[in-house]
Amino acid sequence: MNLRQLKQRFMLHLDPILLAGLGGFMFVSLLLLYSASDGSWMRVLSQFINFLVGFAVLWIVANMPLHYVMRAAIPMYVLGTILLIAVALFGEISHGARRWLNIGVATIQPSELMKFAVPLMMAWYFEKNEAALTLKNYFVASLLFILPVGLIVRQPDLGTSLLIGASGFYVLFLAGLSWRIIIGSSLAAIISAPFVWPMLHDYQRHRIMMLLDPSQDALGKGYHTIQGMIAVGSGGILGKGYLSGTQTHLDFLPERTTDFIFAVWSEEFGLLGNLLLMGLYIFVIGRGFIITANASTYFTRLMAGSITLTFFTYTFVNMGMVSGILPVVGVPLPLVSYGGTSILTLMLGFGVLMSIHTHQRLVKT
C-alpha cells in the first residue's frame, strides 16, 4: 500500500465538505481562545488537543458501519440513565447544582453522554418499530427522552436539558409525530406555564426574570446579559479589532472562554465577523441537512436530522443568550467554546453523520 492508497483509505469514510467546515471551526476556536484567554498559549494548546481527540473520535465513528452504532444504543442509553440516577443520589454539588459524579479516577458529567445517547436510542427504537408505527410507539419514544430530561432539569441544568429535550423532539418530529399532538401539547405547555413557574429553581426564575429586564439587577443576576450585550453592541459593524476588545480584555465579560465566547468574537470582529461565523454555521448545518435528505434508512434519516438540528439549536441558543434574546441557560457555542466534553459529543455526532453519508455511498456504488 503506497502513500496515496493510505491516504485514500484514511479519507474513505470522511466527508471532505463537512471536514472543511469543522476545520474552519477549529481555526476560529483557537484564534478566539487566544484572545479570550488574554494570550494564554496553554489554553489554546489544550483546546487544540480537545480538537485532536474530537477528530480521532470522529474518524473512528465515521469508519464504523452503522449497525455497530445502532448496537450501542441500548447499552449507552441504559448506562447514561443509571449514571444520571446515581448523580441524583450521590452526585457532587458544585455552584449550586448536582451535575457531577465522582467515579474514583475522574469526575464525569453523565448528562453529556445523554446528548448523544438519547437521539440514538430514539432513532433505534423507531427503526425497530418502523413496520407498524402506532401512537403507542410515539408515546414510548417520548418517555425515552422525557425521563433523562426530567433528571437533568432536577440537577438543575437548564441548558443541557433544553438541548436533550430538543434533540428528542426533533426525532419525534422527523419520525412523523402527528400535527394534532404537536399543536395540542404545545397548547398544553402554554396553559401549564403558570403552574410550572413556582416549581422552577430560584436561579432559573431569576434568569428568566433577568431576560425580561436585565437592567433591574445590573451588578447581580443581569450582569452576564448586560455585559454580553455591551460587548456585542459596542463591536459595531467592523469590530474593535482582534485582541482589542475592551469588554474582553478588561475582564468585564464573564465566562468569556466558554459560554460567552461569542461576545468576544462579536466585539472584536463586529457585524461583519458575525455574518462570517454564521456563514460557517450555515455551511455545516446545510451540509448536515443534505446528508439527512440523502440518508437511505429510517434510522439514519432520524439520526442525521436530529444531530443537525441539535447542532443548530446549540448555536441559536448560545448566540441568542449572548445577544440578549434568550435567558442565560449555560449552553456553549458549539465547536468554539473551550471545553473537551462538548467538542467530543459534537464530534461523535459528526462522525455518525459522516458514517451515514459514506457508508450508504459505498452501498450505492
178: left (phi over 0), alpha (psi -120 to 50) or beta: beta
- Taking alpha carbons only, the member of 42, 39, 59 closest to residue 244 is 39
The Cα 312–Cα 171 span in angstroms is 14
Nearest distance from C-beta of residue 246 to other proteins, angstroms: 5
Please identify, using beta-carbon distances, which residue of 152 and 319 lies nearer to other proteins.
319
Quick one: which H or E segment has residue 92? Answer: strand 92-94
Q: What are the helix (H) ranges across 12-132?
A: 16-36, 41-62, 66-71, 73-90, 110-128
Please identify, using beta-carbon distances, which residue of 34 and 316 lies nearer to other proteins.
316
Residue 80 three-state SS: helix
Please identify, using beta-carbon distances, which residue of 164 and 253 lies nearer to other proteins.
253
Please identify, using beta-carbon distances, which residue of 234 and 341 lies nearer to other proteins.
234
Nearest distance from C-beta of residue 94 to other proteins, angstroms: 23
Please identify, using beta-carbon distances, which residue of 48 and 252 lies nearer to other proteins.
252
Burial code of 34-70, b = ≥16 C-beta within 10 A, e = fewer? bbbbeeeeebbeebeebbeebbebbbebbbbebeebb
Please identify, using beta-carbon distances, which residue of 155 and 315 lies nearer to other proteins.
315
Nearest distance from C-beta of residue 262 to other proteins, angstroms: 10
- Taking alpha carbons only, the member of 175, 182, 154 closest to residue 299 is 175
Nearest distance from C-beta of residue 267 to other proteins, angstroms: 8
Nearest distance from C-beta of residue 103 to other proteins, angstroms: 35
Nearest distance from C-beta of residue 145 to other proteins, angstroms: 17
Q: Which three cell numbers stand for residue 337?
A: 467554546
The Cα 257–Cα 332 span in angstroms is 9
Q: Which three cell numbers stand for residue 321?
A: 443568550
Nearest distance from C-beta of residue 150 to other proteins, angstroms: 25
Please identify, using beta-carbon distances, which residue of 106 and 250 lies nearer to other proteins.
250
Residue 100 β-bridge partners: 92
User: Are the C-beta atoms of 240 and 233 separated by less than 8 Å?
Assistant: no
Nearest distance from C-beta of residue 183 to other proteins, angstroms: 13
Please identify, using beta-carbon distances, which residue of 231 and 335 lies nearer to other proteins.
231
Residues that bind other proteins (CB under 8 A): 170, 173-174, 176, 227, 229-237, 246-247, 250-252, 266, 270-271, 274-275, 278, 281-282, 285, 289, 292-293, 298, 301, 305, 309, 312, 316, 319-320, 323-325
The Cα 210–Cα 219 span in angstroms is 11
